Structure 1
């Protein structure tokens, strides 16, 4: 494996340079402490009798990671070098870093994008689904910063059965809103809501520059939807806030809810969104929808809406 070319050491100047130097110092200390906790036997090496310090030696980390010993030494010493994503991944595997440690490694190395797509799609812990189910009849879901829907409860599925019908890998709110048929669109104020969501996506994308999963997602959605491409080109940004939203039911009734996002401490790149009814009528309609969903499932619920002759209206 060939890492990025090392940069000759030089003194940093200014506040930005001082911050970079501190970050490199933190990176070196982090790597040293992480390698010291790895038992040589755990990676197939003999402990021997001449080890003076615990854990792995620098040359062993370099060998196991497929990089040069001098280059890895410079990295621990805080020298000004530019580690590539591939090199950091190899070091993370050698040092057996968990997801939080791996994210920390990327930040200290000043890599702008951390490819978390695989771990983000990992199965959710069962207690997450237990919490979601306990919130019913409040619609609730767990969604990534890229709007991938990782889990949801029956109330959420009753509110948007079109999304619930999609295979799990395809359950992305923005892709659903920009590419699904009009009768599957759940938002009353479609233009306002999706513009806000695209602005949130743009703000989050700044934390994932260079992440191939984000780049490919935006490219594909831009190709499939000219409206998304137009909104994306505006470069508008927004932060996540509690807000009122209105949904069409499968029967064409309007539901008004308050959307509240709660950061998942076990996965900081995800949030649990909870929709609280904004009025007694919405509360009543939600309760009825959940009962019908549990009897008929998402496809049956959509068929019932089609038979009423009212259907779901769309504002876009």
Structure 2
């Protein structure tokens, strides 16, 4: 009875709650003589392509732990969000599901407004493969004018290893390059995107011996925070503190905010944006 009670308050209760929230009519099921809201057990089992008995046992805490495949089928049947699917796995298997990388092609208006609110702090949103999806005016002025690049070229590693202008702007290019490669490797692996970055890695190995050497070192790193110094060809050195954040409900997206270290650095960025000089 203890095991059943635990299941009823965990996985079983969660499954019951999720199926009770689905609209049977919208999913093509008859609602006549239906005494409860949501889907019946047999309807969920049919949508998940598993036996009614097995699904019933899961709700009753019987039959042992389900497989990851069964939980994935149930998650699709119940139309769970990514966060709800993760919770289902934690209840059923005691661990999150394996990472499934999905490419992103933009950000919400809310996130863009957040970036734009940072007037003199360059800020970007990047993917796990380090493609820049969104940026503010300060980032376009101080870092790179991403809007002037084709979408496929808005990649931080392509810029770091393929653009002499970006390389020259780094105060200590070798140190920055090593850090970028290690953090990129860690982000791609964490997001399950190593196969997606293979073509990019091959391309960079062909154009940059430095990247090839760093990639072969197999070092990993974290992109948490620190200080960055950039050389602008006209205004001189700009010093920035940077912090990295995971975007809410999208662990594959990261926001990086660069804050001027001093009022003098803020003034340099303000002047740069007013003058509309080429990005440094």
TM-score (norm. length: structure 2): 0.76
Q: Which runs of 5+ in 2 are unaligned?
A: 1-5
Pairwise CA RMSD of aligned residues? 3.4
1:56-205 alignment runs, 5 A limit: 56-70=39-53, 72-73=55-56, 76=59, 77=61, 79-84=64-69, 90-105=73-88, 110=95, 113-118=98-103, 121=104, 123-161=106-144, 163-168=146-151, 170-178=153-161, 180-185=162-167, 186-205=169-188
Say whether the 8 Å CA contact 2:139–2:145 is kept in structure 1. Answer: no
The CA deviation string for residues 103-128 of structure 1, in whole angstroms up to 9 with x for no partner, is 4345555465332424xx25423232
Partner of 1:46: 30
| Alignment check: 8 A CA contact 1:221 1:228 kept | no
**1:285 matched to which residue of 2?**
268
Counterparts in 2 of 1:102 and 1:275: CA distance versus 1, 3 Å = same
SS at match of 1:215: coil
Farther off after superposition, 276-285 or 134-143: 276-285
| Number of matched pairs | 266
Give the deviation of 1:269 after TM superposition. 4.1
SS at match of 1:41: coil
User: How much has 1:88 moved relative to structure 2?
Assistant: 5.3
Q: Please say if residues 139 and 275 of structure 1, whose CA atoms lie closer than 8 Å, have aligned partners that are also in contact.
A: yes
Q: Residues 106 and 114 of structure 1 are in contact (CA less than 8 Å); yes or no, is this contact kept in structure 2?
A: no
Q: Report which stretch shifted further, 36-45 or 252-261.
A: 252-261
The alignment status of 1:33 with 2:17, answered yes or no, reads yes
Q: How has the CA–CA distance of structure 1 residues 107 and 237 changed in structure 2, closer, same or farther, with 3 Å as cutoff?
A: farther
1:220 pairs, out of 199, 207, 222, with 199
Of 185, 190, 206, the match for 1:207 = 190
Q: Report which stretch shifted further, 27-36 or 237-246.
A: 27-36
CA distance in 2, matches of 1:107, 1:182: 47
Segment drifting more, 148-157 vs 183-192 = 183-192
